[in-house]
Structure 1
Amino acid sequence: MHAPLDNGGRGSLRGTRLLVGYGVVTVFLAVAASVSIKIGSDRDHPPAIAGLYSATPTACFDSSFELTQSGQFVDLDGTGPVEGKLRLRDGRLKGEVTCRDGGSTDVDLALDQGGDNTVFSGTVLDQSVTLAFTAALPEAGKAPAKKRSAEETFGRLMLAIAAVILAARLAGAVLATVGQPRVMGEIIAGILLGPTLLGAVAPDVKDYLFPADIIPLLSAAASIGLAFYLFLVGMELDPTAIRQRATQAAFISNTSVAFPMALGLLVAVPTYELLAPDADYLPFALFMGVAMSITAFPVLARILVERRMLRRPVGALAMAGAAIDDVTAWGLLALATAVAGAGSGVDALVVVGLAGAFTAAMIVGGRPILRRLSTAYDELGYVPPLWVAGIFVSILLAAYTAQEIGIAPIFGAFIVGLIMPRHAGLTEDMSRRLEDFVVTVLLPLFFVVTGLKVHVGSLDRWQLWVLALILFVVAVVGKWVGAMLAARYGGFSWRDSSALGALMNTRGLTELIVLNIGLDLGLISTALFTMLVLMAIVTTFMAGPALRLLDPRGELSEPPEEAFRRAVGERETAEAAPERSILVAPQDDRNIDALLALAEPLARSQPPRELVVVRLLRPVALSTGLVTEDRQLRQTVEELDQRRELLLGRGVQTRVAAFTSADQGADLLRLASEPTIDLILMNGRRPLLGEGVPGGEVGVVLA
């Protein structure tokens, strides 16, 4: 058995020890914030110069071209070979430009004016040149000159949605085969459908699938999906699990937020000068801190379920800590958006106060109203349609209210999920109504909208890749090391502490939501957005391999034998079971009775044998889905119990069990290797071509 805690002689995490820990964390965060604000407030972000320009015709320049900008880094694009990689520092635009004749020359132009009257002047190839701003760059999503009919627009929207769903499903299935969460495959699919791959390889196909006038429609649908998704996330947070481990979970969670946030505030100082858009330092730094401190609760939950870690101390604590992290993250995001949208410090305080009042009103006033849902559900056995409509309207109105206050709209939807009554049947009913459509249809739209904003090609200088690496290291050190040190301080072994840090370092979808809000608010540039998206993806991919490296023997996971014994522990009969057993492992519900019909006469033979019926369920292919998974397990157990009672009535000793398994073949092989098992009965099918050994779980067991 796995020891629940390795205190290492340190004692429990309470009293003075807990206060000292919080004191150290608070001081570290306060010092980092003070240093960041003091130094950063004196720094200036690069002036905004992106746009279309006219130029004095020279031997090098055309008469017109465009400048695109990511902080100090500027790209010049003209007709033909004219292009350049420039850098804007200290009021001068310097770099190398490829001229019309294919040759290259150095450029050093002075910024004379800014804003809509931006003018650069200088000498190029011994000729005087002046660059004058003429117009802003075209905005993404601008409608085409020829307006589509409503029917044509609808058709193109349906085509775009179909392409997104297909790509998301395929990529999710591929990533699942290598042990990664399906949602990460869907995120990758969204990015590959954007400029990063499809736009680079087949730009005409990308423009046809996602024309400029369809992107705003996709974005609107994605925003609706995010609101309902955050409602599901809030509804699946279990306060009971948090209360059971409140002290340790809160300390580890708070440390794993404060430590990376402090590092994010510090790294914001040089990043602000290099890559910040036209934004004030304080909201930029606060956003960088929030971006570094995120843990993706839904993705982490899927990892813990698939690895059967929830019944181990590390997994249970990671789940509780991530739940607290999630609530903290949305609160910090609300603060960051309030500061970004406010015109002054007083305005920011007003927005924060209104956000607090809104949250309190939802808890005090909204929760008692929603609590009546439990009574209605108990009386009717389902949620009345009028109540369902009322909940949906509440989600939308809460999102609207949050937006009007000046914070992220999804915060309102998340709060509605948090105050939903924790009634198993009610939660299942609401999840069943929403999960499939929201997670399968609407959420992938958010991934492709994100992917259309990711421009890996914009990281076209070595300095940008170095900065991307620095941000990645800061994110990993802050989150992983912060959680690891907090867990070690709380009494865990170094191995368990490091595993907990690897889990808390999972950012996934939650990080993408935060980054999109930062980009929409103008707090980060496209290049910085791309860097942070890559950081979010890589840190999430790291979790699985890191756990396998730290725990190669799977001691942090519940082995299938133990899961089986736990599942059947409450169903033991008073009669002594036969010494030998037959393992019946149906791969689907259709073949259970056929397998039992074969197994029953074998069990009656001499010597008699016990039937052990095990149904392994694959994890739900949803980024939330915990409620759905619990419902499926209960339904499966109820069906197996009915068959068990029939067999017991006919004198056949039977035990049944059902549990989740991400690798059914390997788990069945371990169960079949038990010394009391004489025979395993399971269904399968031969390959479509040839006469080879059946594939899938049957092939694993036979091999």
Structure 2
Amino acid sequence: MLSIGMPRVLGEMIGGIMMGPTCLGLFYPELMAGLFTAETKSVLSVIGTIGVGLYMFLIGMELNVKRSSSLLEVGKVTAAGFLVPFAFGLLAALYLHDTLAAGIPIGQFAFFMAIAVSITSIPMLARILEEKNLHSSPLGQLTILAASLDDLGAWFLLTILIAATQSTGTIGNRFGQILMAIGMIVMLYVVVKPLLRRFVRTAQGTDTMNEGMLGIVLLAILSVAWLSELIGITSVIGCFLLGTIMPDAAPVQRMIDERLKGLVTSLFIPVYFVHAGLKADLRSLLQVELLIPFGILLGVSFFGKYLGCSLTMRKMGYSWRDSSALGGLMNAKGLMGLVIAELGLELGYVSQPVYSLLVLTAIATTALSIVVYKLSTRLPHPGIRGAASVMPPGELAKQ
């Protein structure tokens, strides 16, 4: 993937899908059945779940990085980048419900699908910006912060949806689950966050994170994951929230990254891709009745985010070049798209065909984000008629 200008994680996503019924199961069904027995799938599920929990913690921790972009500009891009695709996704889901999810409550299906098409992958976006030397530029700062706030909104709404719909029993029980979810969030910010500050002050006095400190971090992650599952809002959300309350201390974040990120990205996440790929059968998308829904989902997902962000940027006075580049980058869904899709399948918000549609949409929008970004940087730079130059990494040109 790197040789054709695409992020490595996109190749990992495609590789995971090829290990499932889409490719391996099609050509070598006996081999796939022998490799991925029920016991093997169970092990992959456990490893993948732990990996995604650690990954979401690291994502939440990265959101604490300070940014210097204008809060007003960030707010406008955030609102447009979330509300426009959310509205498009809601309308598309209402239209597609009878075709794709007749047995699923229409409200749950529509609300979940609207969240799914509004998400952005923060790690992939950060990786792209760093690769293009834009991570410290105003464009990079504006993009990553707007995407971060978009995702915070998406996970907050998903938490409410899960708490309101996943408890079994009466409405009173569901209300109690929502109260417990709110109580956990309050506990994280009121009780756990001060303890993390004390831990950070201790860790900053050392050059390296010893086994005891790493054990405390892992214990906190696993405890929050367990509590989240106990409440019923999934461990993914709890780990993400724990990451967001980590104090903004660069040395400590660097030490945690050094000890965890390599293992997570090299081992756990590839295993997760294989586990997710075993559930996705993209062969079903060759059916004519599913090609149209896929086109609709891809259109509302990509163009909702792209038009919302790029037109807002243009209205704020930025050049078409920079506006289009940001609109393209905000479509990088990556692993987050797969995590959302699997949660929807696991919790019953989407059917198996819709899960496959969402997986393919995550891959397609991620690839399109790179293509649109590259095409945008070839647009004439403001003030240089007809020139095709690469965007300056140190400044974001306004007209």
TM over 0.5: yes
For 1:214, what is the secondary structure of its paired residue? helix
Q: Distance in 2 between matches of 1:213 and 1:311?
A: 46
2:96 aligned residue:
271
The 8 Å contact of residues 260 and 482 in structure 1, kept in 2 or not, is answered as: yes
1:252 matches 2:87: no
CA distances 1:118-168 after superposition (whole Å, capped 9, x unpaired)? xxxxxxxxxxxxxxxxxxxxxxxxxxxxxxxxxxxxxxxxxxxxxxxxxxx
Correspondent of 2:190 among 364, 381, 396: 364
Q: Distance in 2 between matches of 1:375 and 1:311?
A: 27
1:529 aligned residue:
355
**Offset, 1:351:** 3.1
CA gap of 1:316–1:244, structure 2 versus 1, over 3 A, is closer
AA partner of residue 544 (structure 1): I
**Offset, 1:546:** 1.1
Q: Distance in 2 between matches of 1:240 and 1:457?
A: 44
AA partner of residue 198 (structure 2): R
For 1:380, what is the secondary structure of its paired residue? coil
Correspondent of 2:158 among 326, 330, 333: 333
**Offset, 1:388:** 2.0
Q: Distance in 2 between matches of 1:376 and 1:299?
A: 31
**Offset, 1:440:** 0.6
**Offset, 1:216:** 1.3
**Offset, 1:547:** 1.5
For 1:238, what is the secondary structure of its paired residue? coil
- Pairs aligned (count): 385
CA gap of 1:351–1:484, structure 2 versus 1, over 3 A, is farther
Moved over 4 A (4+): 343-349
The 8 Å contact of residues 297 and 322 in structure 1, kept in 2 or not, is answered as: yes
AA partner of residue 415 (structure 1): L
Residue correspondence of structure 1 range 4-43 to structure 2 within 5 A: none
The 8 Å contact of residues 294 and 507 in structure 1, kept in 2 or not, is answered as: yes
Q: Superposition RMSD on alpha carbons, in Å? A: 1.9
2:390 aligned residue:
555
Q: Distance in 2 between matches of 1:319 and 1:426?
A: 21
Q: Distance in 2 between matches of 1:354 and 1:483?
A: 35
Correspondent of 1:473 among 290, 299, 308: 299
1:458 matches 2:293: no
The 8 Å contact of residues 307 and 557 in structure 1, kept in 2 or not, is answered as: no
Counting aligned pairs with the same residue, the percent is 35
Structure number having the greater strand percentage: 1
The 8 Å contact of residues 69 and 142 in structure 2, kept in 1 or not, is answered as: no
For 1:240, what is the secondary structure of its paired residue? coil
Correspondent of 2:270 among 430, 444, 461: 444
Q: If you compute each CA radius of gyration, which structure gives the higher value, 1 or 2?
A: 1
1:181 matches 2:7: yes
Q: Distance in 1 between matches of 2:288 and 2:130?
A: 40
**Offset, 1:460:** 4.3
**Offset, 1:317:** 0.7
The 8 Å contact of residues 64 and 247 in structure 2, kept in 1 or not, is answered as: no
The 8 Å contact of residues 245 and 320 in structure 1, kept in 2 or not, is answered as: no
The 8 Å contact of residues 225 and 236 in structure 2, kept in 1 or not, is answered as: yes
1:397 matches 2:232: no
Q: Distance in 2 between matches of 1:498 and 1:347?
A: 46
**Offset, 1:492:** 1.8
Correspondent of 2:62 among 236, 245, 258: 236
CA distances 1:463-514 after superposition (whole Å, capped 9, x unpaired)? 2111111111111121111112222233322222121111111111101100
2:118 aligned residue:
293
1:218 matches 2:44: yes
Q: Distance in 1 between matches of 2:307 and 2:204?
A: 46
The 8 Å contact of residues 277 and 525 in structure 1, kept in 2 or not, is answered as: no
1:427 matches 2:253: yes
**Offset, 1:384:** 4.2
**Offset, 1:303:** 0.7
Q: Which 5+ residue runs of structure 2 have no aligned equivalent?
A: 379-387
Correspondent of 2:343 among 507, 517, 523: 517
1:191 aligned residue:
17
Structure number having the greater helix percentage: 2
**Offset, 1:297:** 0.7
1:281 matches 2:106: yes
**Offset, 1:387:** 2.8
- Name the TM-score, length of structure 2 as normaliser: 0.91
**Offset, 1:406:** 2.0
For 1:379, what is the secondary structure of its paired residue? coil
The 8 Å contact of residues 121 and 336 in structure 2, kept in 1 or not, is answered as: yes
- Name the TM-score, length of structure 1 as normaliser: 0.53
AA partner of residue 157 (structure 2): L
With a CA cutoff of 8 Å and minimum separation of 6, indicate the structure with the bigger relative contact order.
Answer: 2
Residue correspondence of structure 1 range 93-242 to structure 2 within 5 A: 175-241=1-67
The 8 Å contact of residues 69 and 138 in structure 2, kept in 1 or not, is answered as: no
AA partner of residue 61 (structure 2): M
CA gap of 1:287–1:393, structure 2 versus 1, over 3 A, is same
